Chain A
């Protein structure tokens, strides 16, 4: 069989950053559920992800997918000290805002708002972009994430100093680095293998 690019069904293209739930439509053929081997299934880590075309597409390289997912979970969910979950999500949202990934930004802006209870600040990041004034501690986290996301990197000792002045210890700073770095991984897959779509929901 000759592989082809998929033409997504008719859909509404989101044109602003949003905290609303979005769909994601693949441009390449995900594995069919009934064609997936045991290895493909275990590479999903969470069995429920079999419903996701994104994860069934990435399951074509199962070793890379499983290692990606286990890296992701420890960076964002490990509860042992460091940066609070809300601010790991803020770094992810800021990175996604700067790279231009509407889908990733929507998911992680929702998480950042949920865990911080600072919906207005998170929405300001989405609306105004990464130079929005969110208060010094959040500004420091956003600026550090953005500097590290630039290619080549613009992250320097001044960012470390600013994070420390905002009260982050070195484990928390390492969490900012990992959260921003991880979304440079995630954004590139989400942006290049398919596209976001507004959901028809309420």
Chain B
């Protein structure tokens, strides 16, 4: 994954020009181009606002790590290092992944007939040692990100209030949410297409 405009999904799947998957992706040219445009908007934005490159790549590495998508996590970790992050921050991301990994989706529904489908699971709180390296703003983000990745149906206004309290503005929260949601797409496209390519 580079800072140039090489297609990130192609690179992560290992799609080469002229291959069968290259031809398949070419049949959905707008989806291909705009998945890449979304990557650019979220990881190399023209107007980054208040969300720093280090925050974007730290979240990227955390999301990929939570998905068990090791190769993708390595790419975001490399971009985090390039963005000037300390070795301690990279270690804190890895520690958070180790603390927070579980299996989703789980969560609760509003009380009613669907309550019988409620499934308990981890509500992640960043561990004390990890929290010392992540600033409070990033620690709050990681707790929210974990919910978005594994149990999004537990979302509630209180989770957004925790982000506001930690210094995320409304616009910052939209960007953070798009990063996690987009990666939930990107990682699945890569996983799915890799599996398809492995079954000629």
Contact = CB atoms under 8 A, between A and B. Distances in A.
Given A78-B31, A101-B153, A151-B66, A188 B181 contact: yes
The contact size tier of chain B is 35 or more
Nearest to B162: A5
Give the most central of B69, B110, B157, B185: most A CB within 10 Å: B185
B41 A191 contact: no
Given A151-B104, A192-B177, A129 B117 contact: yes
Interface stretch (B21-29, B82-90, B133-141): B21-29
Contact of A181 (B147, B192, B195, B196): B192
A122 interface: no
Contacts of B103: 150-152
A71 B31 contact: yes
B20 A170 contact: yes
B199 A157 contact: yes
A189 B69 CA distance: 21
Interface in B149-168: 149-150, 152-153, 155, 157, 159-161, 164
Contact of A156 (B68, B180, B195): B195
Contacts of A181: 184-186, 188-189, 192
A192 B159 contact: yes
B124 interface: no
Nearest to A71: B34
B52 interface: no
Give the most central of A3, A150, A155: most B CB within 10 Å: A3
Interface residues of A, number: 69
Nearest to B151: A100
B123 interface: no
Give the most central of B31, B68, B104: most A CB within 10 Å: B31
Contact of B170 (A17, A28, A174, A175): A28
29 contacts: A3-B164, A5-B164, A13-B110, A15-B110, A15-B111, A15-B114, A60-B170, A60-B174, A64-B41, A64-B182, A65-B178, A67-B34, A68-B178, A75-B31, A80-B27, A82-B27, A152-B69, A153-B67, A153-B188, A155-B191, A160-B199, A174-B24, A174-B193, A177-B192, A177-B196, A178-B31, A181-B189, A189-B181, A193-B173
Interface of B: 20-21, 24-25, 27-31, 33-35, 37-38, 40-42, 45-47, 49, 66-69, 103-105, 107, 109-114, 117, 147-150, 152-153, 155, 157, 159-161, 164, 169-171, 173-175, 177-178, 180-182, 184-189, 191-193, 195-196, 198-199
Top 4 A-B pairs, shortest CB-CB distance: A15-B112, A177-B192, A100-B153, A74-B30
